[in-house]
């Protein structure tokens, strides 16, 4: 049984609608299904507006999906009441993109990391303090800096604080939404390595939402490519990068900047006429699906 | 059209269009003054793209703003020369400087939505540039705007010219920014992270457009970015900045094939997907605080090749190979300080 299953997930937003204007329907997530096995890193890629972040938010019910199912360990998360959902969130956590805006600037690092423990009333005060120091060490921060405020840390360190907070409740599943895209290049690799180490040590399962395909290729075992709210291709990362089938995937992969000045440049432009939204996914290779 | 195409008989590929010499810009923050660009020297020849690469706080944008004299207080350039088409821009009266901006040096910003006025139509942005520099009458301006929109591959330019910025996508807005920057046919364009806010497929299109505009308009380009992929695809030569100083510069192939400075090596190695295994090659440590720089080489605290000498004095930027210089003691046995560095020392003692 997969750890996480997303089945026919739909999220529509209503837009506009003034005195004379008709409301328009934005199909941010349009019938999306995928599953994630325990211990794997599943990548969700696509451009801004493709719906990839909305999926992550729907899975944790930070926003309520319009329809569909999100199963975690076989149970439908969307049917949970408040109490059950709160308990479920201990096991499913999120790391956000922007460590500058996702940490409360008026809270000390200690309190930011401790807050989930306090909310879930875990341990006595002294135990929590000990756990926070342990989490700090786990993510490579110096416990001597526990009393500092977020602005006293660099971007990479702030992302580590966000990670320590996400790990506080011992989750098994973490949704990482563009966790390094706001960081400097030389710091990105540190945070990625930390995510990989933690996965090893704590048997974590990741949903990795990203637009950097080089990174996705490096760390994800399987990947789904989103375009205009739909998955247009999914499968093992190696087979998608070796033989992309959907015109959008081809365009996306050909747009990755080469890091070799002499690499031949072969840009493939996407012809939107080639993308028919009604085309269903079909198996084009072992475990490799494409809407072609 | 003025400059472009007139010198057909003369080979001008070696002509230096912009020469920045020992540029030093400080921010006078009370209590801890910061040297944001420290003794920066770089040259751009006609038709060439120089990539200026660095992380946040490296001084790359400060360098660009110092060149254009767009620094806001408390930033100020205390030393150096910015020689553009043979004359130093730094002592120019503001009136003449305004003429250089736009007509001499065009500028493309990272975030087109912030750089375009939301209540001005697209055509107005381009037309204004032409009118300010007296390069078109009001009637001509509109036609020229449409031509430029067509040149930057905006479909239906006759309609788009009357759109407002919010009616366009991010990629289209960046195309408009490029059209504005090119309006007065400047020989040099400075592009500060022109594709950073864009999706990867749009980024590829904008880079292709920049290359094409460079050919079509006979441009030189100073391309500022943190992304080595953008550099590899677009630049002829590269200068790498770290904590306010240029630590390496050279032809793009040499920089990627044979990086000499450990920081450049680290940057290249940390690009995912190059080595086998799942761990990435990371540069340990953090970018130093400019207000409290370590003594000697500012990269020394993070450097895997650190030696005792590294923390004693700032290494000089010396030519290690022809056209390829690095600021690192690892190579100090390989060469003598270049003329450039000698000149740097000489002018350092000269009070400005």
Compute the half-sphere exposure of residue A19: CA atoms within 13 Å on the CB side of its CA.
0
Give the C-alpha separation, A205 to A37, whole Å: 8
Query: In 3-state terms, what secondary structure has residue B83?
Result: strand
Give the C-alpha separation, A153 to A149, whole Å: 7
The secondary structure of B173-218, three-state, reads: HHHHHHHHHHCCCCCEEEEECCCCCCCHHHHHHHHHHHHHHHHHHC
Give the E-state strand segments of chain B in sequence order: 16-27, 34-45, 49-53, 75-84, 87-88, 105-108, 188-192, 220-225, 237-242, 245-251, 318-321, 324-326
For B97-136, the DSSP string reads HHHHHHHTEEEE-S-HHHHS-TTS-HHHHHHHHHHHTT-S
pLDDT of residue B98: 92
Task: Identify the closest residue of chain B to A219 by CA–CA distance.
Answer: B278
- The dihedral region occupied by B32, where left means phi > 0, alpha psi between -120 and 50, and beta the remainder, is beta
| A136: pLDDT strictly greater than 70 | yes
pLDDT of residue B349: 41
Tokens of B187: 């020989």
Q: Is A261 on the interface with B (CB under 8 A)?
A: yes
Compute the half-sphere exposure of residue B38: CA atoms within 13 Å on the CB side of its CA.
23
pLDDT of residue B334: 58
Count contacts between A and B (CB, < 8 Å): 108
CB burial of residue A145 (10 Å; 0-12, 13-18, 19+): middle
Average pLDDT taken over every residue of chain B: 87
Cβ neighbours of A217 in B, within 8 Å: 272-273
pLDDT of residue B277: 60
Task: Identify the closest residue of chain A to B228 by CA–CA distance.
Answer: A259
For A170-223, the DSSP string reads --SEEEEESTTTTS-HHHHHHHHHHHHHHHHHHT-EEEEEES-HHHHHHH-SEE
pLDDT of residue A222: 96
Task: Identify the closest residue of chain B to A195 by CA–CA distance.
Answer: B279
Q: Is A184 on the interface with B (CB under 8 A)?
A: yes
pLDDT of residue B341: 44
Of A13-22, A52-61, B22-31, B172-181, the least confident: A13-22
Banded pLDDT at B275 (limits 50, 70, 90)? low
Q: Is A118 on the interface with B (CB under 8 A)?
A: no
pLDDT of residue B306: 95
pLDDT of residue B343: 46
Q: Is A264 on the interface with B (CB under 8 A)?
A: no
- The dihedral region occupied by B134, where left means phi > 0, alpha psi between -120 and 50, and beta the remainder, is left
Average pLDDT taken over every residue of chain A: 91
From the list B172, B178, B185, B283, the residue with the least C-alpha distance to B223 is B178
pLDDT of residue B258: 95
pLDDT of residue B152: 92
Q: Which of A252, A254, A257 sits opposite B233 (nearest CB)?
A: A257
Of A58-72, A136-150, B1-15, B279-293, the least confident: B1-15
Give the C-alpha separation, A31 to A9, whole Å: 5
Condensed to tens digits (0 to 9), the pLDDT of residues A273-282 reads 888 888 999 9
Condensed to tens digits (0 to 9), the pLDDT of residues B90-133 reads 999 999 999 999 899 999 988 777 788 889 999 999 998 899 88
Share of chain B above pLDDT 90, in %: 63
Neighbour tally for A83: CB within 10 Å: 8
| B3: pLDDT strictly greater than 70 | no
pLDDT of residue B94: 95
Mean per-residue pLDDT for B50-63?
92
Q: Which of B204, B272, B286 sits opposite A255 (nearest CB)?
A: B204
From the list B191, B179, B185, B173, the residue with the least C-alpha distance to B102 is B185
pLDDT of residue A214: 86
The number of angstroms, rounded, from the C-alpha of A59 to the middle of its chain's C-alpha atoms is: 10
B200 and A263: CB-CB below 8 Å? no
Banded pLDDT at B276 (limits 50, 70, 90)? low
Rg (CA), chain B: 21
Sign of CA dihedral B27, B29, B31, B36: negative
Interface of B with A (CB under 8 A): 55-56, 199-205, 207-208, 226-230, 232-233, 252-253, 256, 263, 266-268, 270-274, 278-284, 286-287
Banded pLDDT at B1 (limits 50, 70, 90)? very low
The number of angstroms, rounded, from the C-alpha of B20 to the middle of its chain's C-alpha atoms is: 11
- Residue B38: phi and psi, rounded to 5, are -115, 105
| B352: pLDDT strictly greater than 80 | no
Query: In 3-state terms, what secondary structure has residue B290?
Result: helix
Give the C-alpha separation, A2 to B68, whole Å: 57
Task: Identify the closest residue of chain A to B208 by CA–CA distance.
Answer: A267
Tokens of A239: 């087979």
Condensed to tens digits (0 to 9), the pLDDT of residues B179-224 reads 999 999 999 999 999 988 788 888 888 999 999 999 998 999 999 9
Q: Which of A47, A188, A193 sits opposite B199 (nearest CB)?
A: A47
Condensed to tens digits (0 to 9), the pLDDT of residues A63-91 reads 999 999 999 999 999 999 999 998 998 99
Distance from CA of B196 to the nearest CA of A (A): 11
Condensed to tens digits (0 to 9), the pLDDT of residues B218-272 reads 999 999 998 888 999 899 999 999 999 999 999 999 999 999 999 999 999 888 8
Test mutation, A45, A51, A159, A185, chain B, max B CBs within 10 A: A185
pLDDT of residue A285: 93
pTM: 0.86
| B17: pLDDT strictly greater than 80 | yes
């Amino acid at each position: 049984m997969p750890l996480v299953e997303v089945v026919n997930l739909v999220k529509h937003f209503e837009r506009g609608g003034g005195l004379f204007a008709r409301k328009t329907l934005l199909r941010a997530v349009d019938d999306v299904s995928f599953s994630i096995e325990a211990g794997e890193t599943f990548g969700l890629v696509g451009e801004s507006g493709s719906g990839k972040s909305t999926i992550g938010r729907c899975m944790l019910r930070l926003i309520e999906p319009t329809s569909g199912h999100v199963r975690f360990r076989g149970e439908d998360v969307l049917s949970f009441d408040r109490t059950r959902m709160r308990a479920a969130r201990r096991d499913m956590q999120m790391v956000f993109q922007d460590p500058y805006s996702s940490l409360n600037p008026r809270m000390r690092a200690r309190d930011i990391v401790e807050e989930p423990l306090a909310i879930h009333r875990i341990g006595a005060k002294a135990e929590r303090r000990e756990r926070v120091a342990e989490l700090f060490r786990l993510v490579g921060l110096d416990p001597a800096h526990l009393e500092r405020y977020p602005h006293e840390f660099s971007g990479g360190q702030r992302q580590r604080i966000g990670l320590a907070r996400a790990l506080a409740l011992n989750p098994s599943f973490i949704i990482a939404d563009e966790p390094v895209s706001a960081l400097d290049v030389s710091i990105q690799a540190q945070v990625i390595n930390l995510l990989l180490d933690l996965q090893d040590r704590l048997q974590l399962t990741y949903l990795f939402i990203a637009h950097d395909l080089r990174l996705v290729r490096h760390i994800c075992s399987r990947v789904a490519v989103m375009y205009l709210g739909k998955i247009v291709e999914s499968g093992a990362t190696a087979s998608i990068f070796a033989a992309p089938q959907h015109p959008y995937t081809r365009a996306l992969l050909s747009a990755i900047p080469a890091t070799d000045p002499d690499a031949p440049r072969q840009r493939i432009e996407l012809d939107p006429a080639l993308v028919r939204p009604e085309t269903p996914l079909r198996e084009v290779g072992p475990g490799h699906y494409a809407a072609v | 059209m003025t400059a472009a195409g007139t010198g057909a008989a003369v080979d001008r590929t070696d002509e230096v269009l912009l020469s920045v010499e020992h540029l030093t810009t400080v921010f006078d923050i009370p209590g801890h003054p910061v040297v944001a660009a420290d003794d920066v020297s770089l040259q751009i020849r006609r038709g060439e793209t120089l990539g200026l690469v660095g992380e946040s706080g490296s001084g790359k944008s400060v360098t660009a703003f110092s060149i254009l004299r767009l620094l806001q207080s408390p930033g100020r350039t205390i030393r150096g020369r910015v020689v553009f088409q043979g004359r130093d821009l730094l002592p120019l009266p503001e009136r003449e400087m305004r003429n250089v901006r736009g007509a001499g040096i065009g500028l493309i910003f990272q975030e087109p939505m912030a750089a375009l006025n939301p209540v001005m139509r697209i055509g107005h942005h381009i037309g204004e540039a032409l009118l300010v520099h007296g390069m078109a009458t009001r009637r001509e301006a509109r036609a020229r705007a449409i031509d430029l929109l067509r040149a930057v591959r905006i479909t239906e330019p006759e309609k788009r010219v009357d759109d407002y910025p919010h009616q366009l996508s991010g990629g289209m807005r960046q195309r408009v920014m490029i059209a504005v920057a090119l309006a007065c046919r400047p020989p040099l364009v400075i592009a500060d992270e022109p594709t950073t806010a864009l999706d990867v497929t749009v980024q590829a299109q904008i880079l292709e457009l920049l290359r094409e505009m460079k050919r079509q308009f006979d441009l030189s380009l100073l391309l500022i970015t943190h992304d080595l992929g953008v550099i590899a695809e677009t630049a002829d030569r590269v200068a790498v900045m770290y904590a306010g100083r240029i630590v390496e510069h050279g032809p793009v192939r040499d920089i990627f094939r044979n990086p000499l400075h450990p920081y450049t090596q680290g940057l290249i190695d940390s690009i995912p997907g190059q080595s086998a295994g799942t761990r990435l090659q990371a540069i340990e440590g953090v970018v130093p605080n400019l207000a409290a720089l370590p003594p000697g080489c500012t990269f020394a605290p993070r450097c895997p090749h650190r030696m005792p000498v590294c923390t004693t004095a700032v290494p000089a930027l010396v030519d290690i190979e022809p056209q390829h210089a690095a600021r690192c003691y690892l190579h100090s046995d390989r060469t003598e300080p270049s003329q450039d560095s000698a000149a740097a020392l000489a002018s350092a003692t000269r009070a400005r």
